Structure 1
Amino acid sequence: VFFLSLLSFLCLLALSGLCCDDTTSEFSVRLYHRMQAAGGQENILFSPLSVAVALGMVELGARGASLQEIRQAVGFGHLLPGVEFSLLQNLTEALPDDDAHYVIRFANSLFLQEGFSFNPDFLHLMKKYFRAEVETVDFSDSAAVAERINTWVENHTESKIRALLSADDFSSVTRLTLVNAVYFRGSWKNQFRPENTRTFSFSRDDGSEVQTLMMYQQGDFYYGEFSDGSQEAGGVYQVLEMPYEGEDTSMMIVLPRQEVPLASLEPIIKAPLLEEWANNVKRQKVEVYLPRFKVEQRIDLKSTLQELGIKKIFTNDADLSAMTDGKDLYIGKAVQKAYLEVTEEGAEGAVGSGMIALTRTLVLYPQVMADHPFFFVIRNRRTGCILFMGRVMTPEVIEPNDHDFDSM
């Protein structure tokens, strides 16, 4: 359950009092583009935050070229060696265990093959920086190991992330699995009223349409219209930032024009553009039509990270000698499973009843009609830290025989 996280490196820099760093945010965007290239017409969801922490845990145990690959790929090459661990520690300690505004569950664990032992200094640093648990298992009993890890993950994510790994993910040669889980639940500052939710047609980029539950509200949000000078993104596109309670955390939605596929907008997404959006949206009254959606995705990050330059830790050339004296120790699995649900309350929302078709009305204010694919980030507005990044190509689909669905 290699819940890897990149963009939290930018959180960690910010939360420690340093500004967000373009190199780390660029690394996060590069990871998104890799997933996009392999994703076809699928939804995407991953947690840059968890990638950073998991890579930090591996970095603690790495030496030589294995260590340098991680530092270079993530953008830490300009820092003094070891500084990033204090930054990561500040990040994780800044996340509340429980808060009235939002809930974030954050847990790390290393699972090592029985018969190996961890370096005591490594164990001490893992607890100091990451509050991480360390356990030994017998990977040859793959079914039992999968069940044990899956239960651990489920318990640490309020039962939202299930069945992360299967027996097929392990073999008699598996020696090390790194598990990092993060779960977020926030409540909107301005909640949608369930009675305003209606069935609506969502136009997918392949030309097909699905019926979904469309939430609606008129309220004060951060909003801006942007244009790509080269027309690569299809001209003007909209950016809407909707704060969660407490206003420290928000969801930023980036929506191309109705007739422009998201694939035309995605190539322009770069780290500096994320900052440009955040700095230039203005608070104003906006009409928002946003589909309820739930994205749950399991991503094999091993090949993606290798493409980004982090290669040795996955091969026999790995040098993890700061972690354990075991020879030929390398990471066999790099998997992330992320879960995000967006509803009227921002958490699990009630289903509205008596749905009727929604029609466009006279537009008095800027209107964000997310009835086609969009890109999003969930970020800390104060620090720029990105908790989740992804896209919605298909929201929750309402079948005609569902009790929520009225004939259109």
Structure 2
Amino acid sequence: MCIPGCVSAPPFPLLLLLLLLGYGCHAADIPEDATAEFSVRLYHRLQAAGGSDSNIIFSPLSVAVALGMMELGARGASLEEIRQAVGFSQLPADEEFSLLHNLTSAMSDDDGHYIVRLANSLYLQEGMAFNPEFLHLMRKYFRAEVDTVDFSESAAVADQINSWVENHTESKIHKLLSAEDFSSMTRLTLVNAVYFRGSWKNQFRPENTRTFSFSRDDGSEVQTLMMYQQGDFSYGEFSDGTQEAGGVYQVLEMPYEGEDMSMMIVLPRQEVPLASLEPIIKAALLEEWANNVKRQKVEVYLPRFKVEQRMDLKEPLQELGIRNIFTKEADLSAMTDGKDLFIGKAVQKAYLEVTEEGAEGAVGSGMIALTRTLVLYPQVMADHPFFFVIRNRRTGSILFMGRVMTPEVINPTNDIRTTQALPVL
């Protein structure tokens, strides 16, 4: 059930995502209903695997693209498990490749309003024969670069791949891999990188940013930089009719320039832990939020935040039904004529920064009291944990999904400007 509300303008955010799948050998648009449920299920798995107070950031689109590339090399049960888990089984055979190609191509079109760059690369073991048709289709559908390396020279290979990653993520992702990630048994490594940069359609004014208290779900408080603005945004108040989510919660959608991309923030009531809201999140609910938020004037208080995470996707994907490719029974014979390949590693690293305009900005220091009384418009006060989605509004595709349990923490006794430098990753 939807109830109207309010919003304000966003900052200049920077988001980056890197997903890597490593393989070792033994001694047009994606329909919203095709992958949305998989995206949400994966979020819940990552939530269960992490700590109750940890931030989360990952890219459902990147995972879908990587698994689509895996399909090109898979057969039998290995192929069917991927199609079933991701949601491709409802499509005619092989149609997902054209859909993924069309979606990523459309999203990567540079219209001057925002930047989305997707890059894929294959590293093959020197001297090993790979199916020419597999390599052709990888280039055709995913524009994959193909290079040969000697995985027994593990340190050199790690340096080469890490350099490629840095080059395709504006140097935000460093040292994704180490020599220990490879061995003489490794035969193929696939790397997928996604970079996004967008400016808010309505930017926050840096002079309105103040030091403010953010209440974590464990009852503790940290000091952070809280941005503020009043503006016209898509907003709604929702309830599932039960007390699972603590009653009514707020949904705010803030567009980036061009309005094709937006960030949707889902905020429970101040006294309700985010963990009470997360169980109700389903693919159908994401669609309900998008369809029922209404444009109106809103006051928005949003913390500046950085979220970065490196996660092992192997176990979550296995829990979602993609098991065969990680075992010695894997059938990746569409890559080579043999059946001795299996997936050895699945890793994703993501980084997201949200600010008023960018990494710099003059801001005020000192504590101020913000009142909740005499409010003329709905308020979105994100001074406690919240869930977020960054999506393409035309296609419904989810580029990033995650939660903020703790934003960027500052020491209010320090010069505020010293807390704004980008971290060394």
C-alpha spacing 1:146/1:97, structure 2 compared with 1 (3 Å): farther
Question: Alignment partner for residue 144 of structure 2, among 122, 127, 132?
Answer: 132
1:94 aligns with 2:106: yes
Point out where structure 1 has 5 or more consecutive residues left out of the alignment.
Answer: 5-10, 15-19
**Per-residue deviation, 1:183:** 1.3
**Per-residue deviation, 1:2:** 3.7
CA distance in 2, matches of 1:294, 1:354: 19
1:356 aligns with 2:366: yes
CA distance in 2, matches of 1:371, 1:316: 48
1:188 aligns with 2:200: yes
The answer (yes or no) to whether the contact 1:105–1:184 under 8 Å persists in 2 is yes
Secondary structure in 2 aligned to 1:161?
A: coil
Could you state the TM-score of these two structures normalised by the residue count of structure 1? Answer: 0.93
1:31 aligns with 2:48: no
CA distance in 1, matches of 2:362, 2:368: 14
Q: Which amino acid aligns with 2:361?
A: V
CA-to-aligned-CA distance 1:230-286 (integer Å, 9 cap, x gap): 210101100000000011110000000111110000000000000000111000000
Q: Which residue of 2 aligns with 1:319?
A: 331
Q: Which moved more, 1:381-390 or 1:322-331?
A: 322-331
Q: Which residue of 1 aligns with 2:13?
A: none
CA distance in 2, matches of 1:270, 1:260: 19
1:47 aligns with 2:76: no
1:5-404 to structure 2, matched below 5 A, reads 12-14=29-31, 20-21=32-33, 23-40=34-51, 41-345=53-357, 348-361=358-371, 362-404=374-416
CA distance in 1, matches of 2:79, 2:269: 44
Point out where structure 2 has 5 or more consecutive residues left out of the alignment.
Answer: 1-17, 22-27, 419-425
**Per-residue deviation, 1:156:** 0.5
The answer (yes or no) to whether the contact 1:294–1:339 under 8 Å persists in 2 is yes
The answer (yes or no) to whether the contact 2:42–2:316 under 8 Å persists in 1 is yes
**Per-residue deviation, 1:166:** 1.6
Secondary structure in 2 aligned to 1:205?
A: coil
Q: Which amino acid aligns with 1:139?
A: F
**Per-residue deviation, 1:149:** 0.8
**Per-residue deviation, 1:168:** 2.0
Secondary structure in 2 aligned to 1:341?
A: strand
Secondary structure in 2 aligned to 1:331?
A: strand
Percent identity of the aligned residues? Answer: 81
Q: Which amino acid aligns with 1:188?
A: W
Count of residue pairs the alignment pairs up: 392
CA-to-aligned-CA distance 1:322-358 (integer Å, 9 cap, x gap): 112244111211111112111102xx23232332323
CA distance in 1, matches of 2:177, 2:123: 13
Q: Which amino acid aligns with 1:39?
A: G
Could you state the TM-score of these two structures normalised by the residue count of structure 2? Answer: 0.89
Q: Which moved more, 1:131-140 or 1:292-301?
A: 131-140
The CA RMSD measured in Å over matched residues stands at 1.7
CA distance in 1, matches of 2:148, 2:108: 29
**Per-residue deviation, 1:56:** 0.6
Q: Highest relative contact order (Cα 8 Å, sep 6+), 1 or 2?
A: 2
Q: Which moved more, 1:350-359 or 1:336-345?
A: 350-359
CA distance in 2, matches of 1:110, 1:126: 9
**Per-residue deviation, 1:175:** 2.0
The answer (yes or no) to whether the contact 2:211–2:412 under 8 Å persists in 1 is no
**Per-residue deviation, 1:136:** 1.9
CA-to-aligned-CA distance 1:272-301 (integer Å, 9 cap, x gap): 000000111000000000001111111111
Q: Which amino acid aligns with 2:29?
A: L
Instruction: Please identify runs of 4+ aligned residues in structure 1 that moved more than 3 A.
Output: 1-4
CA-to-aligned-CA distance 1:80-100 (integer Å, 9 cap, x gap): 211111111111211235342
Q: Which moved more, 1:283-292 or 1:223-232?
A: 223-232
**Per-residue deviation, 1:165:** 1.3
